[in-house]
Amino acid sequence: MGQSPLRLGIAGLGTVGVGVIRMLRKNAQLIEARTGRQVTISAVSARSKGKDRGVPLDSYAWEDDPVALATRDDVDVFVELMGGSDGPAKAATEAAIKAGKDVVTANKAMLAVNGHALAGLAETAGQVIRYEAAVAGGIPVVKALTEGLAGNEITRVLGVMNGTCNYILTRMETAGLPYDTVFKEADDLGYLEADPNLDVGGIDAGHKLAILASVAFGTQVDFDSVTLEGIGSVTIDDITAAKDMGYRIKLLGVAQMTGRGLEQRMTPCLVPYNSPLGQLEGGTNMVILEGEHSGQIVLRGAGAGEGPTASAVLSDILDLARGLRLATFGQPANTLVAAKSAASDTPAPHYIRIHLQDKPGALAKTAAILGEAGVSINRMRQYGHDEPTAQVLIVTHKTSGSTIESVREQLSKSSVTDGTPVILRIEEI
């Protein structure tokens, strides 16, 4: 006799929830063949019962309250697809765990903010939390870290983890349009989250990076320590200038363990134009994992949307159906260390764009400011003279973030510069 069905309760019937139901219905036979058991839906929940969601829901029980859904006797796995770091998502997840249910979620905000406490709660109760869809949508990056690369010390995790920002930056470049115009376009296309700052402010991508850092480095997830800077201040002038110097600007997440502690940053950076990250167009995500023995692993795919996100949710559900049970962040929660947070000070080359007074000695004074700070110039270009200033681009040799900040201050105060210089880190890949 086959195993009993795995029974789901799904809270949240939006883009992802409906995608999961469609995929479960379409691939029912394939899922049974691969897991040896049926995966069924017992009950669903959302805010509005009457809404037409384009999938038949009549055969599932309805719960208005996600906590009631999460604790039903006929639910083995609570599938949380509502969103939000706290509120109903957290309350229902906690209730599910306490009632002896496993949890599958796509909710990066909840895990980035409350992940460590939830992991502890789940492990004490003997339950499992899975969240492949929470990071980079359809890309199986959590699995890659917790399973495929499990024997490696991970040295660095980096990537483009917000498709909306990548769409905006690449569209600015290809269409030559300013940020505000492309932001409006992205909004009209429905790409932006209800609170757009989650996307363009780097918060959504920062949540994903904090989760990956925990899995990669065995640390307690610590979103508050992620250095965050969004893409709102990236100009078409910088995109064009960076391209001219052989780079592209990306909202890039980087996490690495250093002798000073854990560095986590989600900031606009330059990457080499011809690198895999430099070639990443539109709404696609890319995550690069560097292991001491595996070397560099590059994962690329859709970071959002109904199909890709549902695919990741299904992979977690199939693992539970197969009996695969892993600790939330890849090792027991009580062994995750509270890492010291380090400022993003690992030396790197930097890009500087300044407008110089077009007069004798201006360039010499600029070079002196850099030289006195111990910053060496690698490449430099001066452009057509928009009187009374000339635009100058400088690529430095490796220098620390704190040194470059003092250079920024000096250049801003200098009598030969016009306005504040733009300085961006160049990430070596």
Binding stretches for ligand HSE (CB under 6 A): 162-164, 193, 199, 204, 303-304
93 binds, among ligand NAP, ligand HSE, none (CB under 5 to 8 A by kind): none
Number of neighbouring beta carbons within 10 Å of residue 326 = 16
CB of 101 to ligand NAP, least distance (A): 17
Q: Which of residues 276-315 bind ligand NAP (CB under 6 A)?
A: 304-305, 309
Biggest CA–CA distance in the chain, Å, is 89
Which of 199/290 has CB closer to ligand HSE?
199
Residue 421 binds ligand NAP (CB under 6 A): no
Q: Would residue 208 show up in a list of annotated catalytic residues for this protein? A: yes
Instruction: Identify the CA nearest to 110 among candidates 139, 138, 77, 133.
Output: 133
Residue 82 binds ligand NAP (CB under 6 A): yes
Catalytic position from the list 101, 208, 250, 413 = 208
Q: According to CB under 6 A, which one of 13, 23, 95, 270 is a site residue for ligand NAP?
A: 13
Q: According to CB under 6 A, which one of 10, 16, 119, 257 is a site residue for ligand NAP?
A: 16
Report the relative pairing of strands 417-425 and 350-357 from DSSP bridges.
antiparallel
Q: Where are the beta strands (DSSP E) in 245-400?
A: 247-258, 261-272, 284-291, 295-302, 350-357, 377-386, 389-396
Q: Please, which residues have CB within 8 angstroms of residue 322's CB and are 6 or more apart in sequence? A: 34, 35, 36
Instruction: From 23-31, 46-54, 71-79, 281-289, give the range in contact with ligand NAP by CB under 6 A.
Output: 46-54
Structure tokens at 421: 């210089």
Instruction: From 1-9, 94-102, 105-113, 181-189, give the range in contact with ligand NAP by CB under 6 A.
Output: 105-113
Which of 41/192 has CB closer to ligand HSE?
192
Confirm if 166 and 280 have CB atoms less than 8 A apart: yes
Closest residue to ligand NAP, Cβ-based?
14
Confirm if 416 and 357 have CB atoms less than 8 A apart: yes
Report the relative pairing of strands 389-396 and 350-357 from DSSP bridges.
antiparallel
* Interaction site with ligand NAP (CB under 6 A): 11-17, 45-48, 51, 66, 81-83, 88, 106-108, 133-134, 137, 304-305, 309
Active site residues: 208
